Amino acid sequence: MSTGPVEASFVGVALGMAVVTAYLVRWAIDARQRSQFEIAVYLLVMMGEMWAAPLVYLSDPSHQGLLVGVGASGTAMMVTVVPLLLSLFRTGRPQGVALAGPDAPPLALGLGAVLGLGAIVLANEFLMGWALSAAAGATVAVGGAVGAFAAVVNSPWFLLTMAAEMLLSAVLLRGRLPRSVMAIFLAQAAIMVFSPVAFASPSWVAVSIYVSSGLMIGLFVFLFEYLYRHRQLSEGLSAYWPELVGVYAVMMTGLFAWMYFGGGALFAVAVALEMLVFYAALGRPARFASTPTAPWPSRPNWAFAVLSLVFVAELGMGAVLSLQLDPADYVGGYPFLALSGAPGTIVLNAVSNGFWYFATSAASSWFLIMMGLEMGALVVFKMRESHNLENRIRLALMLGCYAAFAVFFPSIYFALVFPNAPPPVTVPVLGWSMGIGSYPLAVGVFGTLLVTYVVTGALTVLFGRRVICSVFCTAPVMYQGTTIDAMKSFNRSEPLGRKYLSSRLSALYAGTTAAVMLALVGTSILSYLDTTGAANVYIQGNDPSVFFFVLSFSVVWYVLFVSIPYAGNYNCVTMGWCYTGTIAQAFHKVGFFKLKVRDRQVCWDCTTLDCAKGCPVGLVDMPGHFRQTGEFRSTKCCGVGDCVEDCPYDNLYISDVRHWFRRRLGLPETRARRTAGPVARAGRRPTVLAAPVVPLSAEAIRLPMASGPVAAPAN
Ligand code: SF4
Ligand code: SF4
């Protein structure tokens, strides 16, 4: 957009339009009586009709075109005033009924009314954007109706005016909106300002991608932390969060399509949808102060919708950042197939394109960086809440490992140090792909095995599976932030999650693990035979072991991650489908790690069973073992330490090689408990003397209460 005097006057027109529209929207939403609402709507419609004159003139810039345009505008205004007048006469004030004064409550507008209001505003902006774009010399009518729609909506005249209108409307109605909702609306307006499609300049595209991505990451962190702090949401927020993240899912996918293929239609559709959901929410502010809905941890479908839509938006954002920051690898680098040929071919190619869009984007460094920032922020919030030093250290190590193994080594270090390293497809990998054994370093099977198994295997024997599943792996950063951690309640409440409760290794678990390990060994052998020339087996052009790795960690892992509301948290561990975790289990089994209690009697007297409720892996049988033997050992245990953190009697600790040494030296294994037990002191935190004990029934907390002898853990 040039900044000549004509365009400057257009800016003034657009700003004026935004201000007047915002005031009329406020007037309509704040209407105390129906006639006020109808007049505001009529004025808004009239504003749109005004644009008929310049549009007709621009298509026929002659004296006749001017006359036709003015005539069309005037006629449209006269026609639309008729229903207004009819309505005003028909709904005239009944005898003896006073007009609603300024103190009367605003009208409770229905969904249809507010959606209609939003649609009128949208249409006005569209007509204005069309007229100003055409007047500024932009070619609008390219690519048919869809192309014209995208060109207008993606123009700065539309996007910036719309952002200003959102901002002003929200500010004008701030007295009726909670601060949290105002913050969301303001963030939305800012994200819309920084729409990369608004200007063609490369520097604008770059800056706007970075700023809007940063704002969106901040908004998602706010969303998750808000959910953590508010288990019950107002009716308005309960509806708005999934709608908004759904719009962002479409928008970020649309932005990727615009950058990769050059078509902006999907992005424009997302913008239009965003306007509609925004006005539907803004127009019914009372819903943000309404009775809270049922707690979201008891609504798995809702939680799944939010989690999966946020993920789709993040996937798009990761793809967009990769295209922008690493064009050499990503522009033209997605293995997309042409959507042409027989219907069956088109369907198969579309599935393949979807798979590789998912896998390539999820494996990109920028996606992992973005996820690290977002989920890492939630981990930092959790660290601030943690009162157990060992847990805080582990969380800090986990963040450091994520930065090192998900970002620094694969994306920066290997490329610098091994510029000529063989591409991953030529490297057979058997075993752990994460952590120290990352495959760009692995120049042969034995090198990989040696580095991986000796170092991480030894650490796992000494300190337990937590070395991998709670520190080295990138997964725990996603699992252990405040909100996702809170989703561990689904392990106990959902039918699928409940199938995998306790330390028992069910037949389903064993079958899954066996199938995954067979696939790992099979694809690794095939990969090796391929490199020696003895075989020639590739999956969609990919080395079998690399394909299996991509399938496992760039697709299946994320699908199951967003399925936490059904399958429960840490389902890679509970369901046994991660081969890395299975190998870690083998080392864990012969290692020093176990959970121990300081006083078994305290567990007998305990009514909270908070250790079991805090377990993100669903090891609900641990209290029974504590009562019987004073310790608990399970190969499913990832050593997260939430049980230690949550025991209200400071009765639990993790025992590993350090404690073994202390025993060997004749020293006490650990310090004494710092709090009184449940008999002497009551409550969730024993130091709070006034807190009453609230006994929970087994059914209420859905835990198998082991009061009699318990069998030894099966593993
Ligand atoms: S089971 Fe696999 S994906 Fe899950 S935390 Fe352990 S290593 Fe990571
Ligand atoms: S919460 Fe603490 S006291 Fe209660 S059973 Fe668990 S470890 Fe024992």
SS (H, E, C) 381-433: HHHHHCCCHHHHHHHHHHHHHHHHHHHHHHHHHHHHHCCCCCCHHHCCCCCCC
| Alpha-carbon dihedral angle through residues 317, 320, 321, 322, given to the nearest 10 degrees | 120
Q: What is the pLDDT of residues 272-287, one digit of tens each?
A: 999 999 999 999 999 9
Residues 6+ apart with CB under 8 A from 30: 106, 173, 176
CA of 513 to the centre of ligand 1 (A): 13
> Which of 595, 599, 600, 603 for mutating ligand 2's site (highest number of atoms within 8 Å of CB)?
603
What's at 602, amino acid-wise?
Answer: V
Q: What span, in angstroms and rounded, lies between the C-alpha atoms of 344 and 347?
A: 5
Residues 6+ apart with CB under 8 A from 81: 42
CA of 673 to the centre of ligand 2 (A): 12
CA of 614 to the centre of ligand 1 (A): 19
Q: What span, in angstroms and rounded, lies between the C-alpha atoms of 557 and 475?
A: 9
Range of weakest confidence among 435-449, 482-496, 558-572, 579-593: 435-449
CA of 600 to the centre of ligand 2 (A): 9
Q: What span, in angstroms and rounded, lies between the C-alpha atoms of 613 and 491?
A: 10
Q: Are 55 and 130 in contact (CB under 8 A)?
A: yes
Q: Are 337 and 349 in contact (CB under 8 A)?
A: yes
Atom 6 of ligand 2: nearest residue by CA position? 611
440 band by pLDDT with thresholds 50, 70 and 90: very low
Q: What span, in angstroms and rounded, lies between the C-alpha atoms of 26 and 106?
A: 11
* Side-chain half-sphere exposure of 375, counting CA atoms within 13 A: 25
Strand ranges, E, within 550-600 = 594-597
The ligand whose atoms approach the alpha carbon of 583 most closely is: 1
Q: What is the pLDDT of residues 392-402, one digit of tens each?
A: 999 999 999 99
Residues 6+ apart with CB under 8 A from 153: 126, 129, 159, 264, 268, 271, 272
CA of 540 to the centre of ligand 1 (A): 26
Q: Are 157 and 133 in contact (CB under 8 A)?
A: yes
Q: What is the DSSP letter of 436?
A: G
pLDDT number for residue 99: 56
Q: What span, in angstroms and rounded, lies between the C-alpha atoms of 39 and 27?
A: 9
Residues 6+ apart with CB under 8 A from 424: 439, 440, 543, 546
pLDDT number for residue 423: 53
Q: Which of these, 506, 505, 516, lies nearest to 580 by C-alpha position?
A: 516
Q: Using a 6 Å cutoff on CB, does residue 597 contact ligand 2?
A: yes
* Side-chain half-sphere exposure of 307, counting CA atoms within 13 A: 26
pLDDT number for residue 6: 67
Beta strand pairing status for 652-655 and 594-597? antiparallel
pLDDT number for residue 445: 55
pLDDT number for residue 146: 87
Q: Which class for 90: exposed (0-12), middle (13-18), buried (19 or more C-beta within 10 A)?
A: exposed
Q: Using a 6 Å cutoff on CB, does residue 564 contact ligand 2?
A: no
More confident residue, 61 or 143: 61
**Rounded mean pLDDT of 1-22?**
80
CA 225 to chain centre: 12
More confident residue, 62 or 248: 248
Dig out the tokens for 307 from the structure.
């989690």
| Cα three-residue angle 153-154-160, rounded to 5 degrees | 85
386 phi/psi in degrees, rounded to 5: -70, 135
Q: Using a 6 Å cutoff on CB, does residue 652 contact ligand 2?
A: yes
Name the strands in the sheet holding 652-655, side by side, starting at the edge strand that comes first in the sequence: 631-632, 594-597, 652-655
pLDDT number for residue 132: 87
641-666 residues labelled b (16+ CB within 10 A) or e (exposed): bbbbbbbbbbbbbbbbeebeeeeeee
Q: What is the pLDDT of residues 12-49, one digit of tens each?
A: 888 999 999 999 999 999 998 888 898 999 899 988 88
Q: Which of these, 163, 171, 187, lies nearest to 282 by C-alpha position?
A: 171
Q: What span, in angstroms and rounded, lies between the C-alpha atoms of 362 and 545?
A: 18
The binding-site residues of ligand 1, defined as CB within 6 angstroms of any ligand atom, are: 468-469, 473, 475-476, 572-573, 578, 580-581
The ligand whose atoms approach the alpha carbon of 580 most closely is: 1
- Percent of all residues in the chain with a pLDDT value above 90, rounded to a whole number: 62
Q: What is the pLDDT of residues 113-133, one digit of tens each?
A: 999 999 999 999 999 988 888
> Which of 649, 655, 675, 693 for mutating ligand 2's site (highest number of atoms within 8 Å of CB)?
649
Q: Can you tell me which residue has the tokens 């990727």?
A: 256
Point out which residues pair with 631 in neighbouring strands. Answer: 596
The ligand whose atoms approach the alpha carbon of 622 most closely is: 2
CA of 563 to the centre of ligand 2 (A): 29
The ligand whose atoms approach the alpha carbon of 600 most closely is: 2
150 band by pLDDT with thresholds 50, 70 and 90: very high
**Rounded mean pLDDT of 251-272?**
96
